[in-house]
Structures are given as structure tokens and as C-alpha cells.
Amino acid sequence: MNRQGRPTQPVASSAPEGLTTFSGNKGLQLEEALIFEIGTTQTTGVDLADLPANAKSRIGDLARTDEIGLPGLTEPETMRHYVRLSQKNYAIDSGIYPLGSCTMKHNPRLNEKMARLPGFSDIHPMQPQSTVQGALELIDTLAHWLKVITGMPAVAMSPKAGAHGELCGLMAIRACLEARGDARVRVLVPESAHGTNPATAAACGYKVDTIPATEEGRVDLEALKAKLGDDVAALMLTNPNTCGLFERDIIEICEAVHGAGALVYCDGANLNAIMGKVRPGDLGIDAMHINLHKTFSTPHGGGGPGAGPVVLSETLAPFAPLPFVVVTDGTFSLAEYAPEAEAHGAQPFGRLTAFHGQMGMFVRALSFMMSHGSDGIAQAAEDAVLNANYIMASLKDIMTASFEGPCMHEALFDDRFLKDTDVTTLDMAKAMIDEGMHPMTMYFPLVVHGAMLIEPTESESKQTLDAFISTMRQLVEAAKAGETERFTGAPHFAPMKRLDETAAARKPVLRWTPEENASHSAAAE
Ligand SMILES: *Cc1c(COP(=O)(O)O)cnc(C)c1O
């Protein structure tokens, strides 16, 4: 039994075999068609007064003369349509979301309340700066705490995601090396790296050179040293790394890279495990993005929104992109032009985005920090690590942990425990959906076979973790007992069954066509 007193084994439907409902709905689970299928162009949710006979368009020739062709519904129908669609989705507000690397934690409602304050939500980047002093102060305050937490002297606030932050960091590194008259061509990336690392290096025009991992899942220091040379611009590494392990040689690694005249970029996606405990600046890091939408809560997923400020070392600080907030006699303003910034010794590499960053994310992140305080921040890191180790310790007797010893904030398993079954990592993930749990990250990192990367974060209670662990144990036992159909046919109970993920990625059908003239069928049916 779980804590709601429900059996944790999925119960077979008690409906007689073959019984279907007339409506297509099941109990209170409602089917929902596309809005184009249920709405008509003849309907609208509002009554508009007829135009006066002498009405003239104020946009002249640009006025629309044809039907707009959008489906109309009444207001209650519209409401129900979107609520029903949202219920087909899974969210951190519905249950555990143990995606490794992604840090899906609870988003405190206090942060939402702060972000909705009109002074933050109703402003525009083109407003005169004198009218947005509070917003500029908030950006400056958040920047301050990011520098304190990481022990770094500067931060670029405008990058809009982690991957964008990587681009910012590498562009700062390139600007710094070019200013030294020492353009270099290679970037070293450990083989466990997130795909965005090599992609960013390649997008910046660098050649990517992979460094192997040791048996223990960490950067091979000797292999790294062997790859260093005067054509290496940077090392990009993640710490704790994507195997959920702390790179213990980090200080020696940074010294070796600096000794070769190169710089160290750290992927900071895993800051949640170390914030308040260790400062990346003290380890020798030159640039690191912080995924505010991971470490400091703020809702994310489905491609956005995000924010990826980049902290920079003394060496890279002058090359930070514009704009940055400056304070003069208590007045906040944005350094918008290079000449002004140059007067302060800066050589910005340019701009990364049109405006100043993701305001809504900034508010939520600062709200998270201020409501936790410095001891709360450190405790969040400790609890995230404790929760991951609880999962690791509770599952490693029946699943195969990829590396010896305790982990940081995420527990990495591989598929060796499935060896004599017909069940794969993908099947396990799909069976978790039937159990009402979002799957863990699968097949990443690539350094282990059939990876299952589980990150509970600090925000899950022991009861939730116990329910997760017990369900995982039952699934593993079922797989080992040969209950293959439970897995290979999963998800059995979700609104959408097993999708053709390759076709969905390679041949996405992005446009709905009415059935009578549909020329191609949906890739994912
Ligand atoms: C999430 C993540 C990224 C990319 O960050 P986005 O904000 O999604 O662009 C990069 N590296 C690692 C290790 C990550 O987990």
C-alpha cells in the first residue's frame, strides 16, 4: 500500500473485457480533440458590436478582408479545452519528476507571487531607466548573490538558458585569448559531458577533443594532461559531473589547464549539489553558467523559459557582454555601449541578447535565495545529496549502480541488472509512466550502457521517496520475473501509448490538416 492506502501494484481494470464507453471518456478522465476539430470559424466566445456604417480601417490596405480561419469556442468550452489538455500532461505539481541533470524541484508559490507583482511583470525593456529602478536593483542584487555563492568577481546576466550561457562563456574565453593575440583552436570535453558542451564548442568554431573517463567515472587527469597543448583554448567540464560524482581532482585539473595557457569552463547545471558548500571560484574555474531554472527553482520544461547567467573569473571579467547594471550615487543604469564600459577597463565581446535577461526568472531565483537564506541554500544542497544517496542505497541491491561509493545529487544506474531479461532501459521508463511517475533521465550520460539517471532533488519528502523506491523495486522484480509484456507494451494506461520516437524527431508533423485532405499521417500514432 502507498500512503494514500491504495495498492501500489497497478490493478487490472475491473471493467468487463472489451467494454468501452459511449463518449470515449473513461470515468472522469476526459478525451479531448484538437481545438480545430471542436471549434468552428462561425463561433466566438464574445459578442462584438457591429461596426458603424462609416467605420474606416486605421491600418488602410493592411486591414484583413478574409475570414481569419481560427476556431471559436465559448468561454467555458475554451476553459475546459485547455484544462483537459493540461491534465494529459505531467508536471512537478502532479508528482515526483526524477529527471537526472535537470533538477526538477518544487517551485515555491511565493516565487510565483513575487514574479507577478506588477512592478516586475508589467514592465517593458524599452521603458526609461528612471521608471524601472526597482527591476534594475533586483538584477543587481541577484547578480551580487550569484557572485557570492560562486566566489566569482563578475557575472553576465543576459544569457537565457544554460546552453546560451555556455555560448557566452566560450565567447568571453575567445575574446580573452584573441586580446592576448593567442587564438586557439581546440576545446577539451570529457566524454560524459552534456551534449550542449561539444555543440557549443563546435558552434563557436572550435575543434572538440574528447577526454576519457577513469574507471571511477571521473576525468582522467593523465589523459587530460596528455591532450593539453598550446592550441587548446579551454576545457569544458561539469562538476559535480553528469555521473553524479564530484571531480575530486578539480584543483589539479584547473592548474594543469591554466599551466597550458587555456581557460576552464564549468557547466554549472549541477550547482544544486554544492551551493553553500564549495565556491567554484575557489577551485580555479574561469567561467560557469548557472541554470537559474534548475538550481533556484522556477518552472521549466518544454523548452523554456530559462535563465543562464554566467559567472566570470578575474581573467574573463573584462570580456563580459553588454549590458550590465551599474550603480552611481544610488541610481541604477545599464551600461549599454562599449565606450562607456571601456572607460571602466572592460572590453565586452558584444551583446548576447537584445535586452537584459529573463526578468521573471530573475525574480523567482532571488525570491528562492532570500526565502532560503545562506544556511537554507546550503541545506538544500545537503538534502539533495542525502535524497539521492537514499535512493542509491535503497536500489543498488537490485539495480546496478554504475560506480562505487556515494553519489552527489543524482544516482546513476546502468542496465546490467536487466541483462537476462527482454526489458530495456526504455521499457523501464515507459513502465514508470504506467505507475504515475515521470521517468528518470535515460541513456545519458553516454559513458555507461543504458543509463538511468535519477535526481530526486531536496524537495521530495521521505514518504514520496519511499513510494518511488518501492514502485521501482516492484518493477525491477517484475522485469526479472519475466513479466515482459508489462514493459514492452508500456505505457498501457497513459492517454498516448508507445510513440515512434525516431519518426517523431526525424519527421515531425508540425501542422494539423483536416482529415479529408490529410496528405500525410501523423508520425506518432
Ligand atoms: C540542463 C543542462 C544543460 C543545458 O541547460 P539549458 O538551460 O537546458 O540550456 C547543460 N548541461 C547540463 C549538465 C545540463 O543538465
Residue whose CA lies nearest to ligand 1 atom number 1: 102
* 21 is a domain residue: no
* 359 is a domain residue: yes
Mean pLDDT over 156-165 rounds to: 96
Q: Are residues 213 and 200 in the same domain?
A: yes
pLDDT digits (tens, 9 = 90+) for 430-452: 999 999 999 999 999 999 999 99
CA of 294 to the centre of ligand 1 (A): 9
**Total domain count, the chain:** 4
* pLDDT mean across residues, the chain: 91
Quick one: cell of 157? 546576466
Residues 6 or more apart whose Cβ sits within 8 Å of residue 37: none
Contact 209/184 with Cβ under 8 angstroms? no
Q: Ligand 1: which of 102, 291, 410, 457 to mutate, judged by most atoms within 8 Å of the beta carbon?
A: 291
pLDDT for 17: 80
pLDDT for 5: 43
Which numbered atom of ligand 1 lies nearest the CA of 196? 10
Instruction: Using alpha carbons, select from 273, 258, 287, 281 the residue that is nearest to residue 200.
Output: 287
**Domain end residue (candidates: 367, 395, 410):** 367
| pLDDT at position 520 over 50 | no
Pocket of ligand 1 (CB under 6 A): 101-102, 161-163, 194, 196, 238, 242, 267, 269, 291, 306, 308
Q: Are residues 161 and 178 in the same domain?
A: yes
CA of 80 to the centre of ligand 1 (A): 34
Task: Name which of 235-244, 246-255, 355-364, 445-454 the model is least confident about.
Answer: 355-364
Q: Are residues 319 and 456 in the same domain?
A: no
Residue whose CA lies nearest to ligand 1 atom number 15: 101
Backbone φ and ψ of 467, nearest 5°: -65, -40
* 63 is a domain residue: no
pLDDT for 220: 96
pLDDT for 357: 87
Q: Are residues 163 and 209 in the same domain?
A: yes
Instruction: Please provide the size of the chain in residues.
Output: 525
**Domain end residue (candidates: 346, 367, 388):** 367
Contact 290/145 with Cβ under 8 angstroms? no
Task: Name which of 36-45, 109-118, 406-415 the model is least confident about.
Answer: 36-45
Binning pLDDT at 50, 70 and 90, where does residue 13 land?
low
* 317 is a domain residue: yes
Q: Ligand 1: which of 99, 101, 200 to mutate, judged by most atoms within 8 Å of the beta carbon?
A: 101
Which numbered atom of ligand 1 lies nearest the CA of 308? 7
Q: How many other β-carbons are positioned within 10 Å of the β-carbon of residue 221?
A: 17
Residue whose CA lies nearest to ligand 1 atom number 11: 194
Q: Provide the terminal-to-terminal Cα distance of the chain, rounded to the nearest Å.
A: 34
Q: Are residues 298 and 326 in the same domain?
A: yes
Q: Ligand 1: which of 170, 194, 457 to mutate, judged by most atoms within 8 Å of the beta carbon?
A: 194
Q: Are residues 436 and 397 in the same domain?
A: yes
Residue 357 identity (one-letter amino acid): G
Residue whose CA lies nearest to ligand 1 atom number 2: 269
- Cα–Cα dist 117/102, whole Å: 28
Which numbered atom of ligand 1 lies nearest the CA of 291? 7
Residue whose CA lies nearest to ligand 1 atom number 5: 162
pLDDT for 58: 87
Q: Are residues 404 and 473 in the same domain?
A: yes
* CATH number of the CATH domain containing 434: 3.90.1150.10
Q: Ligand 1: which of 166, 192, 247, 267 to mutate, judged by most atoms within 8 Å of the beta carbon?
A: 267
CA of 140 to the centre of ligand 1 (A): 24
* 487 is a domain residue: yes
Q: Are residues 509 and 486 in the same domain?
A: no
Instruction: Using alpha carbons, select from 464, 457, 501, 505 the residue that is nearest to residue 102.
Output: 457
Instruction: Using alpha carbons, select from 381, 355, 457 the residue that is nearest to residue 101.
Output: 457
Quick one: cell of 246? 564530484
| pLDDT at position 269 over 90 | yes
Residue 455 identity (one-letter amino acid): E
**Three-state DSSP class for residue 61:** helix
Binning pLDDT at 50, 70 and 90, where does residue 304 land?
low
Residue 196 identity (one-letter amino acid): T
Residue whose CA lies nearest to ligand 1 atom number 3: 162
CA of 510 to the centre of ligand 1 (A): 25
The Cα angle at residue 98 between residues 96 and 104, in degrees rounded to 5: 85
CA of 23 to the centre of ligand 1 (A): 43
Which numbered atom of ligand 1 lies nearest the CA of 238? 13
CA of 165 to the centre of ligand 1 (A): 9
pLDDT for 522: 43
Q: Are residues 437 and 328 in the same domain?
A: no
Binning pLDDT at 50, 70 and 90, where does residue 7 land?
very low
| pLDDT at position 4 over 90 | no
Alpha helices in 5-91 (DSSP H): 35-38, 75-87
Q: Are residues 237 and 296 in the same domain?
A: yes
Q: Are residues 178 and 260 in the same domain?
A: yes
CA of 107 to the centre of ligand 1 (A): 18
Which numbered atom of ligand 1 lies nearest the CA of 103? 15
Binning pLDDT at 50, 70 and 90, where does residue 405 land?
very high
pLDDT for 441: 97
* 521 is a domain residue: yes
* 56 is a domain residue: no
* 102 is a domain residue: no
Mean pLDDT over 272-278 rounds to: 98
Which numbered atom of ligand 1 lies nearest the CA of 306? 7
Instruction: Give residue 76's domain range.
Output: 27-40+72-88
Mean pLDDT over 485-490 rounds to: 95
* CATH number of the CATH domain containing 300: 3.40.640.10
Binning pLDDT at 50, 70 and 90, where does residue 184 land?
very high
- Cα–Cα dist 190/384, whole Å: 24
Is beta strand 154-156 parallel, antiparallel or unpaired with respect to 310-312?
antiparallel
Mean pLDDT over 125-143 rounds to: 96
Which numbered atom of ligand 1 lies nearest the CA of 293? 7
Residue whose CA lies nearest to ligand 1 atom number 14: 269
Q: Are residues 135 and 282 in the same domain?
A: yes
Residue whose CA lies nearest to ligand 1 atom number 7: 162
**Domain end residue (candidates: 367, 398, 424):** 367
